[in-house]
Structure 1
Amino acid sequence: MRIISTFLSLLAALLLSACNNAPDPVTLNTVKTGTPALWKVSGTQPGQIGVVYMFGTIHILPNDVQWRTPTLEAAIADSDQLVIEVLGLDDPQNAAKIFSRLAVSPGQEKLDARIDPSLRDDLDRIIDASNISERTLNRMETWAAALSLASAQTKGLGLDSSSSVEKKLLAQFKEAEKPIEALETIELQLGYFDKLPEAQQRKMLASVVEDSADAQKAFEKLFNAWMTGNLEEIVTLSDTGILTDAKTRQYLLVARNLDWAEQLDKRLQKTGTSLVAVGAAHLVGPDAVQETLAKRGYKIEKIQ
């Protein structure tokens, strides 16, 4: 759940659309109106002439919530362009081809052989509820099976990827005829998981299975922390599961944040204003993108 909600927009869009079962309605105990965190980054040194608004997102959200605020709308109006994590999700056929190419490999062990025996009953339970065949999962690399099952759990809560923050922002900037760019390609984003050592992939699968019993509560906690701008709670929730493994954290979070900071540094050395909308976990804690930019002399203001 936390993997999908804070890091990976692709699987939320791609795999949720592939799950055709209609789950029973779930009543979520979520905040209805909020003020998600928003920062303004500007230069303090010669050559730092651009401006970037940084908006932490959650990639899946309920339909009946109001996350827009006058402060956010003002930042959107002030921005010349939108920058998100990845583009290309509006072409699901191409995205599915990329996912299949990376996710499916010959000679995979059966999925239940890749997890501790104590978790196999729980694995069987979430496979049965996922509407994904065991044969399909067995052909997948471990990271892809883990994300597929996590996506299915999100679908089971009645969450619809079409109502994601990114999709709504994309539509707004397209209507305003403002350019849209991305920090990563689909291949690169999926590739971070594909290149994880098998040991880390199996920890990821175990984390998805272990969290499955409390999937609704986990989503509610994360969503409410995001809606209320509770950065400390987002840090706490994001530092669980697979990110407790130092190597995985370095690869999936820290290295990507450093790469994004480098890209934004170059963008800030040009005129113009950008709204950067990325998963909230990338913008909190000591490894946040803004922390690197602050070390490079930029002024960081939390404006919401």
Structure 2
Amino acid sequence: MQLLKSLARAAGTLALMFTGGCASADADPQVAAAPANHGPALWKLADEDTTIYLFGTVHALPSDVNWYDGHIAAAFEESDELVTEIAMDDQLALTQALTGSAMLADGQNLREMMTPEDRKEYEQAMIDLGLPPGALDPVEPWYAAMNLSVLPLMQAGIDPAAGVDMALTRAGASKRKDALETLEEQVALFDDMPISAQLTFLDATVEAVPEAAKSLRELIDLWVVGDAVGLAAKMNEGLEDPALYQRLLIDRNANWAGWIEHRLAEPGTVFIAVGAGHLAGDGSVQDQLAKRGYKVERVH
């Protein structure tokens, strides 16, 4: 069950990235400045004509969290390219692709797939969140879990529009953009799970709803002071299944390291912003780069 609760947190993070489209078109493109000598962790690697910064993000924040400190601002502003996990500019296309993948086949109904006990708990969670119990009946369990992960955060004032990925995308409007993965690849992490696993995942998410906002605020507290090790441990706790850990973290980190190695062959300064859990702990992006012979340094 602890493993599935960790999956629920992961789904919430993924959903918060997609729902970044909630930001209005005229949202302030600036990011708030943090106090001097204070802020999240930043790393870099470089060769003779290329510098690549690695910055771990949180995909949704309370609007009053200040994180854009001196060394982060300097690295971002000198970079001519912004790279995120998935392309962030066309939020409408992201939302349409996500919901298109999430729909059940005709004649299927989410609540009819549940056991009576799980259905009762699910319906009560929906009511507690101010939703009709049948609001998500047409969607697959993994997508219902994503929604139930996100809604309590938004209701607690943790805003996708204030998330780091969206803030950097707005602030870097004139920069070249690239992405490490496609939307389809990220959705497949959840959509490819068997329905039975998705239903167990949804039930675990329902149980995690009351603590969702508190859990994310604990992560934010670690992130904003640059405690990368503590943050990764908190984000990844419960991923005890070796196959799942390999799928969600290690394989992706290895793929991203390959992307970075390839990008080093081209000149320029690149700012890569990915979920903070990928940049600390065993098997991190930095570990994968070290295996390829590259040295990554923390920027203070």
With the shorter chain as reference, the TM-score category is: 0.7 to 0.9
Task: Give the structure 2 partner of residue 192 of structure 1.
Answer: 189
How far the C-alpha of 1:294 sits from its partner, in A, is: 1.1
Task: Indicate whether 1:283 and 2:279 are aligned.
Answer: yes
SS at match of 1:41: strand
More deviation, 126-135/136-145: 126-135
Question: SS in structure 1 opposite 2:55?
Answer: strand
Is 1:301 matched up with 2:283? no
- Aligned length, in residue pairs: 280
Q: Is the 8 A contact 1:40 1:300 kept in 2?
A: yes
Identity of aligned residues (%): 32
For residues 263 and 238 of structure 1, the distance between their equivalents in structure 2, rounded to whole angstroms, comes to 24
- State TM-score, norm by structure 1: 0.82
Q: CA deviation at 1:236?
A: 2.4
Residue in structure 2 matched with residue 262 of structure 1 by the alignment: 258
Q: Does 1:220 align with 2:217?
A: yes
Structure 2: which amino acid aligns with 1:41?
L
The residue that corresponds to 1:164 in the other structure is 163
1:55 Cα deviation from its structure 2 partner: 0.3
Task: Provide the aligned C-alpha RMSD in A.
Answer: 2.5
Task: Give SS of 1:270's match.
Answer: coil
Whether 2:154 is the aligned partner of 1:147: answer no
Q: Flag structure 1 segments of 5+ consecutive residues without an equivalent.
A: 18-31
Partner residue in 2 for 1:173 = 172
Aligned partner (choices 7, 13, 25) of residue 20 of structure 2:
13
Q: Partner of 2:72 in structure 1?
A: 72
Q: 2:27 is matched with which residue?
A: none
Kindly provide the amino acid, as one letter, of the partner of residue 61 in structure 2: L
Question: Structure 1 residue runs of 4+, over 4 Å off?
Answer: 4-9
List per-residue Cα deviations over 1:246-295 (Å, max 9, x = no partner): 33322222222121111111001221110000110111111211110111
Counterpart code for 2:70? P
* Equivalent residue letter for 1:39: W
Instruction: Name the residue aligned to 2:125.
Output: 126
Q: Residues 281 and 203 from structure 1, CA distance in 2 versus in 1: closer, same or farther, beyond 3 angstroms?
A: farther
Change over 3 Å in CA distance of 1:88–1:137 after alignment to 2? same
Q: 1:116 to 1:217 in 2, by over 3 A?
A: farther
Q: Which runs of 5+ in 2 are unaligned?
A: 1-7, 24-33
Pick closer, same or farther for the CA change 1:125–1:293 going to 2, 3 Å.
same
Structure 1 position 131, deviation (Å):
4.6
C-alpha change, 1:129 and 1:200, in structure 2 (3 Å) is same
Q: Is the 8 A contact 1:11 1:147 kept in 2?
A: no
What is the DSSP-based 3-state SS (H/G/I as helix, E as strand, rest coil) of the residue aligned with 1:139?
Answer: coil
Query: Following the alignment from structure 1 to structure 2, what is the Cα–Cα distance between the partners of residues 211 and 36?
Result: 26
Say yes or no: does 1:36 pair with 2:36.
Answer: no
